[in-house]
Amino acid sequence: MSILNKRMIMIILILLAVLFPFIVPNQYYIYIMSLSFIWIIAVYGLNLVAGFTGYLSLAHAGFFAIGAYAMGILTTKAGMGFWLAFILSPIITMAIGLLIGIFALRTKEHFFAIYTLCVGYIIYLLIDKWESLTGGVRGLIGIPPIPNIGPIELSNPVNRYYFLFIMLLLSIFIIYRIVNSLVGRTFIAIRNSEDLALSLGISTTANKLLSFVLSTFFAGLAGALYAIFIRFLGPEISSTIIMFDMLTYLIVGGIGTFAGPIIGTLLIVWTSQSLQFLEDYRMFVFGPLLTLIIIFSPNGITGFFKHLTVKRKMRKVSIPIETKKEA
Amino acid sequence: MLELKNVTAKFGNYAAIRDVNLRIKEGEIVVLLGANGAGKTTTFRTISGLHSRSSGQIMFEGLEISRIPANKIVELGIAHCAEDRKLFPDMTVQENLNLGGFVHRKRKQQKKETMQKVYDLFPVLYNKRNDLAGSLSGGQQQMLAIGRALMARPKLMLLDEPSIGLAPLIVEQMFKSIQQINKEGTTVLLAEQNANAALSIANRGYVYENGKIVVEGSAEELFANEEVRKAYIGA
């Protein structure tokens, strides 16, 4: 796939997203799509630490909830202005992420996954039990809607759709810049081999922490968007079910690939929608799908197509390589 | 330049190297000979800070480095080119080199010059600079691994079995390149099983057996040493 092709695909995708409310003028579908955008942002955050850096953080839903509850509590209980709270929520999430990351990153591999799984559960328990702050099981209500920006009414679902779409584009742009910067390369280096990264002079401790904190930023941002979009929060948004939903989106789309979060999230959200009549039996579809992908294409759908194009490229150049003597 | 004094390094209770004494002078090529598992790689990992020594001293340019983290040791001027030429297979040749120069990331111009030097040394890497590292042949991968280590502009380079798994013709070229690197001012510490090729370019050598140094001497002495010949040269 040439760069031109990639650019074309991107432009087409953006156009499709922009035209979506006109192609499908169905309130419910616009709602589902808007919600998907929020999940995609969260999954991008997860991809940064789990995909690119190789540290499977299972506390991601917890950080998502922290962002959401920060937004909810700041606007309802602290009476803070909407935009200030919106900026502060991801920052608060990052600060908590930093504190947790310092300890969590002392562990590796499976231990890191288990450690963060526990962290996620503790966050869930805190939200569930700390009634005076979070409203406990009854949840948090009365979160203000997105105020209008000038003449643009964001109470209108289509405008809200565009607002979330712009947030998504901004997030993807930032992630793209991170992944393709030298810092992003150090993340990939760490995923490849920490020893190797160290012997190139990369401080693995600092860079792992940076990756983890950045991932919590996107979790927090997605959480804050979720709070103002749904306007009701319950402790279940930090549950392991949400965590594994996000992980499924990422794995199906392609962990450690750039397009993975978009493809995985949209695919599963929409198949899940169209299989609604199956109710909980939908899992009979997703379970085998996930297993097949892990077995046959560990890098998900994106990885599968990437593999195909690389193979095709190899075939094209294989003749000159064989005839050329090794230098 | 580098001196190891009675260095012992352990894996659990097992001492992979025991009381190793090494001394490398500036500008030299020194070779460590020994069978698999004799302790050459552990010695390298201990010097570069990837494995912590349990006792002894490691001095580099008058500085005790055994407690310095690995990423800082690179900044001091020791580059470690590990065995099995670990590259970043999903990155291009150029990106691999770029990461090799990580410690000099703020000096862009200097980094560019160093990269040019690496390309001059291994022109084939320049031709393949936009190819994925994973698509290179064994010899090219080894060149890239060495080139990446050079990007750190090391004063001392630790090369762990650069000839492993390469065709004889390529091995010969590899050793010529190492000699070239040395001529341009980098001190080289080499671990090898290919004693013949290694001793032909080295100034001095140490022979490892079961984690201990059993013989040391100049390249000529080792070449003439009956036991070394028997064990590692096969003549």
Contacts of A167 (CB under 8 A, 6+ apart): A37, A41, A221, A225
Cβ–Cβ contact B137 with A under 8 A: yes
Q: Do A201 and B75 touch (CB under 8 A)?
A: yes
Cβ neighbours for B63, distance < 8 A, ≥ 6 positions apart: B76
Mean pLDDT of the region A189-205? 92
The whole-number pLDDT of residue A24 equals 85
Is A326's CB within 8 Å of B98's CB?
no
Partner-chain residue, chosen from A195, A314, A327, that has the shortest CB–CB distance to B50: A195
Residue A4: what pLDDT?
Answer: 59
pLDDT in tens, A10-43: 888 899 988 888 888 888 999 999 999 999 999 9
Contact criterion met (CB < 8 Å) for B74 and A199: yes
Taking the Cβ of residue B211 and every Cβ of chain A, the question of whether any pair is shorter than 8 Å is answered with: no
Q: What is the pLDDT along chain B (235 residues), one digit of tens a residue?
A: 999 999 999 998 898 999 999 999 999 999 998 888 888 999 999 999 999 899 999 999 989 998 899 999 999 999 999 887 689 988 899 999 999 999 888 888 989 999 999 999 999 999 999 999 988 888 899 999 999 999 999 999 999 998 888 888 888 889 999 999 999 999 999 998 888 888 889 999 999 888 888 888 888 888 888 877 777 766 5
Quick check: A50 pLDDT over 70? yes
What is the residue-averaged pLDDT of chain A?
Answer: 88
CATH fold of the domain at B2-233:
Rossmann fold (3.40.50)
Residue boundaries of the structural domains of chain A:
3-317
CB B132 within 8 A of CB B95: no
Domain boundaries, chain B: 2-233
pLDDT of residue A145: 85
Q: Is it true that domain A3-317 has CATH number 1.10.3470? A: yes
Whether the CB of B177 is below 8 Å from some CB of chain A: the reply is no
Dump pLDDT digits (tens) for A289-326.
888 888 888 888 888 888 787 777 666 554 444 334 44
Of B70, B89, B137, the CB nearest to A198: B70
DSSP for B163-227? Answer: TTT--HHHHHHHHHHHHHHHHTT-EEEEEES-HHHHHHH-SEEEEEETTEEEEEEEHHHHHH-HH
**Residue B76, pLDDT score:** 93
Neighbouring C-beta atoms of residue A158, cutoff 10 Å: 15
A167 contacts A41 by C-beta, under 8 angstroms: yes
ipTM exceeds 0.90, yes or no: no
pLDDT band, residue A104 (cuts 50/70/90):
very high
The residue among A3 and A49 whose pLDDT is bigger is A49
CB within 8 Å: B124 and A327: yes
Is the Cβ pair A188, B90 closer than 8 Å?
A: yes
Token duo for residue A26: 């169905």
Q: Which among A194, A196, A200 is the top mutation candidate for probing chain B, defined by the most B β-carbons within 10 Å of its own β-carbon?
A: A200
Chain A nearest C-alpha distance from B77 (Å): 10
Please give the angle made by the CA atoms of A189, A191 and A194, to the nearest 5 degrees: 70
What percent of chain A shows pLDDT beyond 90?
57
Q: What does the pLDDT look like over A251-298, one tens digit per residue? A: 999 998 888 999 999 998 988 888 878 777 877 888 888 888 888 888
Residue of B45, B48, B71 best to disrupt the A interface, most CBs of A under 10 A: B71
Structure confidence at residue A144 as a pLDDT band (50, 70, 90): confident
